[in-house]
Amino acid sequence: SQQGEEDPQALSIQEGENATMNCSYKTSINNLQWYRQNSGRGLVHLILIRSNEREKHSGRLRVTLDTSKKSSSLLITASRAADTASYFCATPNFNKFYFGSGTKLNVKP
């Protein structure tokens, strides 16, 4: 029973375009985190947004959170081929830590 579900499942764009991926979750949260996974590797933390925040920026990343809709979005601006990876949202739930199903992003050079 995962907390988060991302969409789309896969996204293919050209270098320089923006990429937007969405995450929906099921229960109330303290914060929501986004992670990146390169093929065949572990996940790496990108950004955390607290439940009382609506938007957060980090470099080319912009995250929004709408707690009324139980949803978050991750925007990667001016994408690069090196951004090709899978992106997951994660929601801590007391002692557990749940991840969504991920969005596979392919940035074509």
Partner 1 sequence: DGGITQSPKYLFRKEGQNVTLSCEQNLNHDAMYWYRQDPGQGLRLIYYSQIVNDFQKGDIAEGYSVSREKKESFPLTVTSAQKNPTAFYLCASRVSYGQENEAFFGQGTRLTVV
SS3 state at 70 = coil
Report in angstroms how near the CB of residue 51 gets to partner 1 at its nearest: 10
* Look-up of token digits 């601006």: 77
Q: Residue 96, interface with partner 1 (CB under 8 A)?
A: yes
* Look-up of token digits 């789309």: 8
Report in angstroms how near the CB of residue 16 gets to partner 1 at its nearest: 27
Number of residues that bind partner 1 (CB under 8 A): 27
Preceding amide of 8 cis, omega within 30: yes
C-beta of residue 100 within 8 angstroms of C-beta of residue 92: no
Q: Residue 35, interface with partner 1 (CB under 8 A)?
A: yes
Kindly list the residues in this chain that would bind partner 1 in the complex (CB under 8 A).
1-2, 30-31, 33, 35, 40-45, 48, 50, 88, 90, 92, 94-102, 104
